[in-house]
Amino acid sequence: MSSPDDQWWDLRAAEYVLGSLSPEDLIVFKQLLRTDPDVQRRVLEWEHRLDPLNLSTAPIEASPELFEKIMRQIEHHTVAEEPAGVYVTSDTEWQGRLRFWKLATVATMALAAALIGLMVFSPWQLGWQQDTETTVEEISFNTVSILENENGDPVWAINFRKSATGPEGQSDSERLSGELVVSVIGNIPLQDDQSHQLWMVLADGSGVQSVGLMPNNIGESKVLSLPLVLSSANQFAVSVEEFGGVSGPAHGPIVAINSIVLPADSI
């Protein structure tokens, strides 16, 4: 089993290949890439691993209507541009903008982390075989919740992967059956004799349902089977338990909780 440090570096290399590193991290990573053989090896491995995905993904050309809409927006902002001057942003507005971009960045990170985690920890791997039954179209992720610590920093990204679609399609409940890919993108301190446990907070107010134990090392991902359909709950919560967790419904202190956003194709 690889160490948390190895997993962290492997995730950074994958993010570099995917293009999801921040500008600051990208500068540092490129400097390391020039001189560090281990970093060079990790990047090369991820390029080989992701190349089949890249080759099998057909490019999508934007419609003429989209370009026209963009041009209208540009013209609108050009005409409405205010005279030159100094614009002072209020603290409230600045915090709102910061919050928006933070969540947008986290959502992008979550999708990348889920894809990376699936390929690292899933029993199947993307390979060079062209006749494999797993296609790009079958890889379907939906980020349904981001769990944060008390400071508002993201710690876990929870992605939903639905069950395979049958030949006749699926009912509404079947579309929300499947599993969760939980990716660690932050940290909440935990003692050696404790575990973080994930719960579904049931929408009918009847209580909670245990989902399983959470991964805790940054860059780590874990697949958890959903005990109920996703729409049965309106929130995910994480509690601190004795090592190994509890069966419920009684649980320890809650350290993270957030709403569940159902996938668009299920609404």
Q: How many domains does the chain have?
A: 1
Q: Is 218 helix (H, G, I), strand (E, B) or coil?
A: coil
Residue 223 inside a domain? The answer is yes
Calculate the CA 20 to chain-centre distance: 12
Confidence at 198, pLDDT banded by 50, 70, 90: very high
Confidence at 265, pLDDT banded by 50, 70, 90: low
pLDDT of residue 127: 40
Residue 208 inside a domain? The answer is yes
Angle between helices 37-55 and 4-18 (to 10 degrees): 50
Domain extent, residue 183, equals 136-266
Residue 87 inside a domain? The answer is no
pLDDT of residue 192: 92
> What one-character DSSP code corresponds to residue 137?
G
| pLDDT tens, position by position, 107-133 | 555 555 555 555 544 444 444 344 444
Residue 261 inside a domain? The answer is yes
Residue 231 inside a domain? The answer is yes
pLDDT of residue 122: 44
Query: 7 with 119: CB under 8 angstroms?
Result: no
Tokens representing 238 are: 């994480």
Residue type at 222 in one-letter notation: K
Residue 34 inside a domain? The answer is no
pLDDT of residue 60: 62
| Strands of the 142-148 sheet, one edge to the other | 142-148, 154-162, 178-184, 221-225
pLDDT of residue 237: 94
Provide the CATH number for the domain around residue 194.
2.60.40
Per the DSSP assignment, residues forming a β-bridge with 180 are: 160, 224
Query: 218 with 199: CB under 8 angstroms?
Result: no
Residue 10 inside a domain? The answer is no
> What one-character DSSP code corresponds to residue 72?
H
Query: 184 with 215: CB under 8 angstroms?
Result: yes
| pLDDT tens, position by position, 206-264 | 999 999 999 998 888 899 999 999 999 999 999 999 999 998 788 999 999 998 888 76
Residue 124 inside a domain? The answer is no
pLDDT of residue 240: 94
202: pLDDT strictly greater than 50: yes
* Segment of 10-14, 24-28, 41-45, 253-257 carrying the highest mean pLDDT: 253-257
